Structure 1
Amino acid sequence: MEHEVFVPFPVGAVRRVLSDPARVARCVPGLQQDASSGAALTGRLRVRIGGSTITYRGALRLTERDGSYELSGEGTEARGTGTVTLALSALPEEMPGGTRLSCLGTVSGAGRLAEFDAKTAESAARRLLDRFGAALAEELREDEAAVPLAEPAAPVAAHAADAADEADDDSEAFEDDALDDEPPAEAAHARRTMIGRSAEEVDHAPPRGRYAPVPAPETTSGTAVLRWAAPAAAIALAGAVVVTRALRRKR
């Protein structure tokens, strides 16, 4: 069986994952790893074929040869006596936008696997390889997410800090000038009070000059005349009485 799988990552990144048996085990769908010893991976592998699921218990071995990666293994049915043997090679090749895995493999078995025709078994194998390629791409995405962001260079950060300090200094200087130009609160209040009083005096002050009103006659002048005329009249009357009496006596 031949099959191709596309992985949207550079061939170098794909090779790094395929060279690590532990990472390859994480990418094999349905594999529950028990333990690993070098390139050997032992555990349980669940394979879905047709409308059924078969679980095998066995071991996988990963080796690199002439730029390709070979995966071989054998297993026994967890609930039965059937067996399976796997031999698969994958060659990573660079292509636009990523890496192509050219896979070539054979699968043989007895037991429940032998109950299915070759076409059904081949379809299950292709689906397994496609899921492996998707898991491999996800593994590489996690590698990218784990890379920390580069910190800004020190001169750039220092320049930004200096610019911020200068901006703060300019802002403080502007505020200080604004405070110096503004009058104190008491002076401003007094100025507003003086302006208000001047306006009131101007509004209520009578006109002057040729438009000035004629003053009303003073009522205190007559009273003042009566105050000094009454005693004078009394004295004149008394003097007249005395003169009259003297004339009568002479007669």
Structure 2
Amino acid sequence: MEHEVFVPVPVDRLRAVLDDPARVARAVPGLQHDAGAEPVAGRLKVRIGSHSVTYRGAVRVTGRDDGSYELEGDAAETRGTGSVKLALRLRLREAEGGATLTADGTASADGRITGLPQDAVTAAVTRLLTRFADNLATAAREDASPAPDATPDPAPDAPPA
């Protein structure tokens, strides 16, 4: 599987987000974080066509020497015996006006998801990765926003009496 998406923020800002597990967790669309768990752990409902499957699991993000990021995850269906495992590599590359994020890797699954149409599963994964990239961009842009000025505006001169 490979998916590429343009992200309208510079690579260095995306790296800052990917280097922070708590911010990665906030970028996962629909993740309901488990209190007290590692940062990228919790429940995630995935809509596949007219079906939805909820998983509980964790993802680990590791920066690599070549500048890419490795995502490894595993999860189990909250209802049922199915599970999913994934291994993705995220590569970032400068692009005009931002960056290109390429995700490639493998996933394996059993349980309910295997009975669903492959094209619907692929569309759901693509949608999830695109929304994840969009959320990474939002987090990176928040870093670039100037902090509100804490000093009050000077009072205007009083009109002459």
TM-score under structure 2 length normalisation: 0.85
Paired with 1:114 and 1:49, the residues of 2 have a C-alpha distance of 11
Deviation at 1:89, TM superposition (A): 1.1
How many equivalent residue pairs?
Answer: 154
Percentage identity across aligned positions? Answer: 52
SS at match of 1:60: strand
Once residues 135 and 8 of structure 1 are traced to their aligned partners in structure 2, the CA distance between those partners, rounded to angstroms, is: 11
Residues 15-53 of structure 1, C-alpha deviations (whole Å, 9 max, x = no match): 10011111000000121111344xx63211111111111
Contact 2:16-2:140 within 8 A present in 1 as well: no
CA deviations over 1:80-100 (Å, ceiling 9, x no partner): 111111111111110100010
Secondary structure at 2:54's aligned position in 1?
A: strand
CA pair 25-146 structure 1, distance change in 2 beyond 3 A? farther
Letter in 2 for 1:59: A
Following superposition, the deviation at residue 106 of structure 1 comes to 1.7
Report the counterpart of residue 74 of structure 1 in structure 2. Answer: 74
Letter of the structure 2 residue corresponding to residue 33 of structure 1: H
1:61 counterpart residue number: 60
Alpha-carbon distance, 1:118 to partner:
2.5
Larger strand fraction of residues:
2
Q: Which runs of 5+ in 2 are unaligned?
A: 152-156
The alpha-carbon deviation at position 107 of structure 1 amounts to: 1.8
Q: 1:79 aligns to what SS in structure 2?
A: coil
Answer yes or no: is the 8 Å Cα contact 2:25–2:41 preserved in 1: no
**Per-residue deviation, 1:146:** 4.7
Q: Which residue of 1 aligns with 2:95?
A: 95
List gaps (5 residues or longer) in structure 1: 152-163, 172-251
How far has the Cα of 1:117 moved from its partner?
3.0
Shift of 1:116: 1.6
User: How far is the alpha carbon of 1:3 from its aligned partner?
Assistant: 0.7
User: What secondary structure does 2:145 align onto?
Assistant: helix
RMSD: 2.3
Report the Cα distance in structure 2 between the residues aligned to 1:111 and 1:102, rounded to whole angstroms. 28
- 2:154 aligns with none
CA deviation vs aligned residue, 1:120-153 (integer Å, no higher than 9, x gap): 211111110111111112212322335346x9xx
Whole-angstrom CA distance in 2 between matches of 1:117 and 1:106: 18
Aligned residue in 2 for 1:43: 42
2:30 is aligned to: 30
Equivalent position SS for 2:141: helix
Write 1 or 2 for the structure with the bigger share of helix.
Answer: 1
**Mapping for residues 106-185 of structure 1, pairs under 5 Å:** 106-148=106-148
Higher RCO structure, 1 or 2 (CA under 8 Å, sep 6+): 2
Question: Within 2, Cα distance between the matches of 1:16 and 1:6?
Answer: 17
